[in-house]
Amino acid sequence: MKKDDAREPALSKTAAPKRKMFGNRLSASQLSPQALERQSRIALLAWNLLGGDAAIAFLNTYNPALEARPLDLAIESAAGCEAVEHALSSTASPSPGG
């Protein structure tokens, strides 16, 4: 038997391809710098006005007055961000005479 005839099976043909442990982070859509700025600004404002848990709940829960999730609306456009800022100010302000 020649040395060339004694081959080991090629693992690359039978073994499953290696996968990245946490997936491909670059395949997810990335926000523009302007959208990131609006997201950061609205999150900080909500945190300062409402506190941690309330801010998270407000930003991630559908708001009937805004007809959207506030965080999504703020990221989408400058006008959406202003609408969320106004809603936050209204939510955080104490009612008059109370």
Q: What is the pTM of this model?
A: 0.66
CB atoms within 10 A of CB 82: 14
Domain range list for the chain? 52-92
Q: Which residue has the higher pLDDT, 76 or 3?
A: 76
Residue 92 has pLDDT above 60, yes or no: yes
Q: Can you tell me the distance from the alpha carbon of 47 to that of 11, in angstroms, rounded to the nearest whole number?
A: 53
pLDDT tens digits for range 54-74 = 999 999 999 999 999 999 999
